[in-house]
Amino acid sequence: MRILVTGGAGYIGSHTVLLLLQEGHQVSVIDNFSNSSPESLRRVASLAGRSLDAYHIDLLDAESLAQAVGEIKPEAVIHFAGLKAVGESVAQPLKYYKNNVVGTLNLLEAMNKAECRTIVFSSSATVYGESTDLPLHENTLRNATNPYGRTKLHIEEMLEELAASDSRWHIANLRYFNPVGAHESGLIGEDPQGIPNNLMPFVAQVAIGKRAEVQVFGGDYLTADGTGVRDYIHVLDLATGHLAALDYLSNSQGVHVWNLGTGAGSSVLEVIDAFARISGRPVPYRITERRPGDVAESYAHPEKARLDLGWKAERGLEQMVADMWNWQSNNPDGFPEANHQLVNAKSLQDFIRGSSPTITE
C-alpha cells in the first residue's frame, strides 16, 4: 500500500515506518521535526534497506499539506504528528489545541480532497482520565483531565462525527498505554528533548549517569508497593498494532477503537529494579510527593484488539528495559544534533538516502 505517515520521524512513528517498509509498503513521511530528527528516518531507511519519501511540512501549513497529500495520493494515513507533553499543555493550552486539533483538521481536509479516507489515529489511554474502572475497556467513560488529553478526546469525537456524516471513511482510534523500549538494533529509540517527563527515559538517563536520581512520585498509593502502576508496552508491539488496524480497515468502514496495551501493570519500583538489574548500573531513587493529576493505576483490557485484529503484545518488561538500555547506552545523547544543520545544507531526501548511518561534519 501507499501509506502516508505524519510524525513518522518521531519515537513511535519511526518504529512503525520501519515495520511498514519491511512489510513492503511504500511510505511517505510528513514531519516538521519539532520533536524529532531527520537522522531517525535515515537510520530507518538504512535498517530497512529501502528508501522512503520525506516532506518537511508543518500540518498547520494547510496549503503545503494539501499539495503534498495530493502528490502522494496515499491509500491510507497513519497520523502520529502531535505534541504530547502533559505539563506543557497545561502551561500552553492554545498551542496544543492549535497543533493537535487544527493540524488534524487540516489533514482530514487534505485527505478528503485527495480521495483518501482511511486513517489510523494515535489516541491515548489519557482519554480515560482518572477512571478507576480497571482494567480500562474501550467503552470506559472518557474524561480527560488536561489540555493534551482533551485534544485527543476532541479529535476522537471529530473523527466519530466525520464517519457518521460520510460512510466512506475508515477510521481507527488506537488508545496507547505507556510506550517504552526501542528497536533491538539500538539505532532508533526515544530521544526526549531536555528533562524527560516520562518514567522510563528518566530512569535510563539515571542509569547512564546523566542524572543523579529518580524521583518516585508518590509512595502511598493503594498499590502493592505504594507506587504508581502502568501498562508499559514495547514500541515494536505498538507498531505491529498499527499494521493490524490498517489491515482491518481495508474492509471495514466507520470508526473503530482499540486499546493497545499488554493488560499487565508494573509499578515504578518494579521498573527501577528491572533497569538496575538489566543495565548492571545503580539507579538511585527517592520517594517524593505525588505528581498532580496522576492516577494510582492504569492498565488495559486488551481483549478487543486480540479478538478483532488478532493482535497482542508479545514482549515483556525485561525485553522493554533491555532494548531501552541498548538504545540509551549506544546513544547517550540521542540522535546527533549536528545532523540538523547538515540536512539544511543538503536536501532532506539526499540526506535520508545517504548510505552511512552517521555523518560527521
Task: Select from 25-33, 47-55, 68-76, 199-207 the region that touches ligand NAD (CB under 6 A).
Answer: 25-33
Binding mask 51-90 for ligand NAD (x = CB under 6 A): -------xxx-------------------xxxxx------
Q: 11, 148, 176, 299: which one is catalytic?
A: 148
Q: Name the residue nearer to ligand UFG (CB basis): 70 or 284.
A: 284
For 216-256, give the DSSP string: EE-S-SSSSSSS-EE-EEEHHHHHHHHHHHHHHHTT--EEE
Helix, coil or strand: residue 13: helix
Taking the C-alpha atoms of residue 142 and residue 10, their distance in angstroms, rounded to an integer, is 26
CB-based contact 21:46 (threshold 8 Å)? no
Q: Name the residue nearer to ligand NAD (CB basis): 101 or 287.
A: 101
The interaxial angle of helices 338-345 and 38-48, nearest 10 deg, is 80
Tell me, yes or no, if 148 is annotated catalytic.
yes
Write down the residue that cell numbers 515506518 correspond to: 17
Residues making up the chain, counted from first to last: 361
- The site for ligand UFG (CB under 6 A) is made up of 84, 86, 124-126, 176-178, 197-199, 202, 214-217, 228, 230, 268, 291, 294
- Residue 99 contacts ligand NAD per CB under 6 A: yes
- Residue 237 contacts ligand NAD per CB under 6 A: no
Residues near 234 by beta carbon (within 8 Å), at least 6 away in sequence: 179, 180, 181, 313, 314, 315, 319, 320, 323
Interactions with ligand NAD, residue window 107-126 (CB under 6 A): 122, 124
As measured in angstroms, the least distance from the Cβ of 198 to ligand UFG is 3
Taking CA atoms, 352 is separated from 54, 112, 190, in Å, by 8, 29, 19
Binding residue for ligand NAD, selected from 3, 5, 12, 322, defined by CB under 6 A: 12
Interactions with ligand NAD, residue window 174-203 (CB under 6 A): 176, 179
Catalytic residues: 148
Interaction site with ligand NAD (CB under 6 A): 7, 9-13, 31-36, 58-60, 80-84, 99, 103, 122, 124, 176, 179
